[in-house]
Structure 1
Amino acid sequence: MLTLKRFANPDVTRAFTNIVWLGLERLTQIGVAIVISGMLARYFGPDTFGKWQYANTLLLVLSPITWVCGAEILVPTIVSRPPTQLGTVLGSAFALRFSVSVAALLLTWLGIALHFFDPLVGAMLAGLAVTMLFREPFVGVINAWLQSMTYSKPQLLTSMSTAVLKAGFAYLLVRAMATPARFGWLWAAESAAIGAVLLIYYIRRHGGKLGWRLDRSLFKHFATAGTVFWLGLVCMYLFLKLDRLMLERAISFADLGRYSAAQQLNENWITLALMLAQTIAPAFVYRVQDAAQLRRNVWRLTAMTAALMVSGAIVLDLLAGFIIRSVFGPDFEGAIEIFRWAVWLSVPAGVEAIGNLIVLKYQAKFVLLSKWLLALAIAFVVNLLAISRLGAYGALVGLAAGYLAAASVNLYYIRFKLRP
């Protein structure tokens, strides 16, 4: 009877539906990403594919700059304010994010114009960088409004649809033998389409009017609130992509392409672990107030996640040759051994993800920042020493060292916060 009552609760039903849509969207994105990567790897070849992956790495390092005023700040603000102030809240957040995104885009284009990058990498990045103009200002702001209602279906459905369409257009560009630089603009078009659809949806939900207004005091609040969390996320993404940034200086683009191919598949596998953590977090971490029960839950979740990651790594290790050849083709044989080692990174990554839930539960922003600063510093030093001796495998050692450092900080914080 209790179970039936829980599911009869509209809030619980809405949250469960939201999780289902989130899972479908993530699985769709992962599937489409693998299909497109395999298609482009075969079309470009290892050298050009390495440049494409490096351009994407640069984008993923630059994009967190536009994440100022994250959802952890914007969503609670929307919820706490009366509905009449929604336009002011969203308008102020949009103004801040749009101005930061424009600055980031112009600086990126300036770097390309000054030849900071390989010419082809720069040409690819020129189109990819335009995604920053739409992702956070339009998609991010409207998605925060949807999250405040626990109703992300419109954004997730739009994202899934455009991802499938992007795969279709990528196939057409390959068939038309388009130049590699043109593919970056396909990603820009996708982000613009998502932003346009969500903007139209918002306007239709509000009587055909946008109604966004700028409030200077709220603008300043958004610009300063959450700064520590924002810096922590910037450090985290820089850590996750530091291996490719440093390898670009040490190995050929062809070898970088093979390394990136292996790592992309591995990162998709790790993403599934993060999805699991996000799915179980509300019930087993965020809603639990008793310290002893929370401590037991964390250790059990950590053990379960470690066992899952080890089991998955064993299977992926055994199937590495089949997976790499099936997705990327015969020119990427060198990625097989890298992939076999890389999949074991999922174990410390999964353990770190569970421990991070406690950091997020208690909004320990300085712990988050310190953790990723430490991981970034350790990975940089290890990469500096290991890449020159071990090549691409040295970068894997750097990632492993960084993940272990981050997990150690989580462990220390859990023992401190949840001590008996």
Structure 2
Amino acid sequence: MSVHPFRQRILQLLHDADVRPEGDRTGGRAPWDPRVHDEHFYNRILAQGSLGLGESYMDGWWDVDDLDGMLLRLLGHGADRKVHGLGEVWDALRARVSNLQTEHRAFEVGERHYDLGNDLYRAMLGQRLVYSCGYWREADNLDDAQAAKLDLVCRKLGLRPGMRVLDIGCGWGEALKFAAERYGIAGVGVTVSREQAEYARDLCAGLPIDIRLQDYRELVRANTGGGFDRIFSLGMFEHVGVRNYATYFDVARRCFSEDAPDGGLFLLHTIGGNLSTAITDPWIARYIFPNSMLPSPKQLTTALEGRFVIEDWHNFGTDYDRTLQAWRANVEAHWPDLPERYDERFRRMWRFYLAGAMASFRARRIQLWQLVLSPNGVAGGYIAPR
């Protein structure tokens, strides 16, 4: 089939977003104008939507100097909502009739994303392997921003020596290590990534920290829950899925000690979307985070009703754009030092992932929330540190 019937339609959509593949603007090509190398680009976008856009970039069908600038303009114009591939329709139907985040599927994201290689994440994430948004209020570099975020979490929870803390989705163990060394706590961390678990155990050796390779649901079923004074979860909730939110919060509530100070506090740190959905972007689902989805405020509050009191809701989503820019600078500087398995197609995939996330936060399409929750409400009220 000729690509020409589709070319004009996609060109018009791009032009409406101030993106001009042909460079036909006064003053020459803008940094966010793509250079198309394969004319099949146009019908691929029309047939596959965002999946086709990302895959065609991975395949080298087009290049652009300012990738996040281009994606920002497309998102700002709502182009992603105007072209939908058949795969996206199928994903939406599948999410309606099945639970994409069952315990059986829980370890898939660990195997496909978090187990890619600690060498990649060490190159990208900086001094601490913290794969969540930094707090840039008083920081001017990534390492300080991540330390500030970890300290903010500890201060919001009012951590004190001797407290027992649960980290749901502990990653490489950096948050528990920070809390143990700075605030004198003992802790348990759970993760679905073997690479993360092994690294975290080595990182936290000698500290009163137990790292477990298990799904969060196993915390109570295996009788390993209970007895915690505080809980935090940093960047894991995006993998839970709306069908499991009630179970997730039930598990968290059951993990508190009966005599926890203030009745217990739970800090939930998550990316969130402005609109309710049950699926993620199809390109993200295929290449980055399988079975993921971002919660909306409505979905969160519905699940929290009758389970937790919302003591504080803090949005610092614009800090994620800056965090992602720092991650991109780090990984771009280290590509030559990384193993050959991170080939050119992988690098283009990773660039598209980071740039797309930057654009989404910059366009305010997605947010970064920290919620402080209590099972029964803090007597006299809760005062949130900033």
TM-score w.r.t. the length of structure 1 is: 0.23
- The structure richer in helix per residue is 1
Q: Which has the higher contact order (CA 8 A, sep 6+)?
A: 1
